[in-house]
Amino acid sequence: MEKAGSFENLKIIPEKGHEQFKREPFIKSNLNLIFSFIFLLLGYFMKMEYNEEHLLTITPFLLSILIGGSKLFKTGFSNLLRLEFDMKTLMTIAILGAAAIGEWGEGATVVILFAISESLEKFSMEKARASIKGLIELTPKTAIIKTSTGEKDVDITEIQLGDVILVRPGQKIAMDGKVISGYSTVNQSSITGESIPVEKNIDDNVFAGTLNEEGVLEIEVTRESSDSTISKIIHLVEEAQAEKAPTQSFVDKFAKYYTPLIIAISFLVITIPPLFLGGEWMVSIYQGLSVLVVGCPCALVISTPISIVTAIGNAARNGVLIKGGIHLEEAGKIDAIAFDKTGTLTEGKPTVTDIEFLSKKGDSLGILGALEKLSMHPLAKAVVEKLDSENLNFYAVENFSSITGKGVNGEINGIKYYAGSPSLFSELNPNLLQSNITIINKYEQQGKSVIILGTDKEILVIVALIDRIRSTSNSALSMLSSIGINDTHMLTGDNIPTANKIASEIGISNVKAQLLPQQKLDYINTLKKTKKVAMVGDGVNDAPALATANLGIAMGGAGTDTALETASIVLIGDDLTKLPFTIKLSKKTLSIIKQNITFSLLIKLFALILVLPGWLTLWIAIFADMGATLIVTLNSLRLLGVKPEK
């Protein structure tokens, strides 16, 4: 397959296992260019000794053209037969035309300069893609597993789910898994972009490619090597780099019409002067060939993809997964940002602070735990964790059901119980809630969430929980303001007092509380009518809103499949300060793409104007083309310098 696709530089990489990315030495990868250059110098030496029409002069120039332009001609002729006119087709026609009119030296020089340009372009794209190759090389190729007979060093492709791997201090973790023994700190910067190592205890998740710093860890493997978080990130980033951005699509369409236009101009430059203005055919043909060379859209075609690839690679190295050029461009156009509260602006790890009993009837905590154990809501999980620590026995629940956005209910010993938000009990029995409103208001004014257990006739228990604000939330909102995004919204299903308190502490300008998932979706749709809106959520509960917004941004991509699948952009390390970095990177990318396209077109226009006084030569044409390509490439690589603020 590689041989069949060699003319397109096709490279086959194993889906499982590891591909070694080895860069060939410069001399080996540019042998054709070197020999072509040697023959070019020999040709000019012979030209000084004899003349351009002498066989000893023509021969080295011809060899220079054939050796240096072999790949170019192969593609150029193939395109010509299919009537596809791209830059290689134009260059092929121009070089053969130069040889046909006896300009062997200039034809060979054009080949050399074009080959240098191609080599520089390849080097730049390799540098841009190096971030992804670096990610691939992060994961160890082998790991030590514990077996019944002792320790064994095996290839990671042979490790099965449930195997236990041993990771000593200073070693990289080879597989995604869960710590079952030991304590350590792990440097996760390669995956999440976090600069500070994270403590890992029993039951904590760890990721392949991260560095164990202090203690010995025994890790139970929870994902195969091909399904690890870093493998998914690499796969998605490679897909993103292959996906065309809107600007790239525009450039491709433009080049489709631009190239035939250049051929038409070249034809007119060749024919009009000798036919109507008394010009010489040889001079006009030479000028026409120069127009073909200067008209090659090399810089224009590369202006967008190299910028996109560089930006996406830079983002991946800094803990941000951007799933395509279209999303990268969209981030720079955002006017407003809507945030989910739980797990986004807050840590998403609520803890129980208060339990207030309002009735002595039965084992109310056992009933509460039984109901909440069947719920998937973060508050419910926090309640169960608290009650588990009390070693309580939970009851068997019958006819359990979930009430979206409000709570749960089920029958225990023939009695129907409800556990959920105050709004649930307001619907069940408004008078019942009103009689306890003072207690509820007290907790909500403290910024706490409230869960109530009861029946439709009485309230048994009121539980208060608090979810602490992320340490990065305040600084992220401040950074967003500094780059001109002040229209921020918080969308939450929590109560109004809690939402207002958190919003005021962080600096959110608009708050919508007690929203169901459908209401979040409706709110996003309303905002979209007048603004470009980004939605930031945890990728699980907010999937509809994330999918509907102009740009869906998920928190907690590390290990969260839903986040990786749902959102357009994923902040891998739960670090909100990466959001302003992403927007800044996008704006910079859009700016550089515009600079590249403008410069590419202006330099072409300037060179074409030189046709009028007859000053355009093949030398000037190729230098204009190669110079533009080089400048566009170097300008795009400036995106590697965009870094997150500390």
- Residue 36 makes CB contacts below 8 A (sequence gap 6+) with 63, 64, 65, 67, 68, 69, 108, 111, 112, 115
Contact call for residues 403 and 374 (beta carbons, < 8 A): no
Q: Are strands 336-340 and 487-491 parallel, antiparallel or unpaired?
A: parallel
Q: Which of 579, 556, 553 is nearest to 567 (CA)?
A: 553
Element (H, E) at 534: strand 533-537
The 3-state DSSP class for residue 289 equals: helix
Measured in degrees and rounded to the nearest 5, phi and psi for residue 174 equal: -90, -25
CB half-sphere exposure, 547, CA atoms < 13 A: 11
Residue of 86, 153, 163, 340 with catalytic role: 340
Strands (E), 204-344: 205-206, 211-212, 217-221, 320-322, 336-340
Distance CA 460, CA 452 (A): 8
Distance CA 455, CA 362 (A): 13
Cβ burial of 382 (10 Å; 0-12, 13-18, 19+) is: buried
**456 assigned to active site:** no
- Three-class SS string for 464-515? EEECCECCCHHHHHHHHHHCCCCEEEEECCCCHHHHHHHHHHHCCCEEECCC
User: Both tokens of residue 226?
Assistant: 């091909």
User: Both tokens of residue 518?
Assistant: 């459908």
- Residue 617 makes CB contacts below 8 A (sequence gap 6+) with 106, 286, 290
Strand partners, 321: 570
- Which residues carry out catalysis? 340
